[in-house]
Chains A and B, each alone.
Chain A
Amino acid sequence: DQQVKQNSPSLSVQEGRISILNCDYTNSMFDYFLWYKKYPAEGPTFLISISSIKDKNEDGRFTVFLNKSAKHLSLHIVPSQPGDSAVYFCAARGDIYGGATNKLIFGTGTLLAVQP
Chain B
Amino acid sequence: NAGVTQTPKFRILKIGQSMTLQCTQDMNHNYMYWYRQDPGMGLKLIYYSVGAGITDKGEVPNGYNVSRSTTEDFPLRLELAAPSQTSVYFCASSYSTPVNQPQHFGDGTRLSIL
Which B35-69 residues sit within 8 Å CB-CB of chain A?
Answer: 35, 40-45, 48, 50, 56, 58-59
Which B88-114 residues sit within 8 Å CB-CB of chain A?
Answer: 90, 92, 97-99, 102-108
**How far, in angstroms, from A45 to B104 measured CA to CA in the complex?**
7
Closest to B56 in A: A102
Kindly list chain A residues whose C-beta atoms are within 8 Å of the C-beta of B98.
34, 93, 102-104
Contact of A104 among B4, B41, B45 (CB under 8 A): B45
Contact yes or no, A45 B105, CB < 8 A: yes
Q: List 30 A-B contacts (CB under 8 A).
A: A9-B40, A34-B98, A34-B99, A41-B107, A41-B108, A42-B107, A43-B105, A43-B107, A43-B108, A46-B103, A46-B104, A89-B43, A91-B42, A91-B43, A93-B97, A93-B99, A102-B50, A102-B97, A103-B45, A103-B48, A103-B58, A103-B59, A103-B98, A104-B43, A105-B45, A105-B59, A106-B43, A108-B40, A108-B42, A109-B42
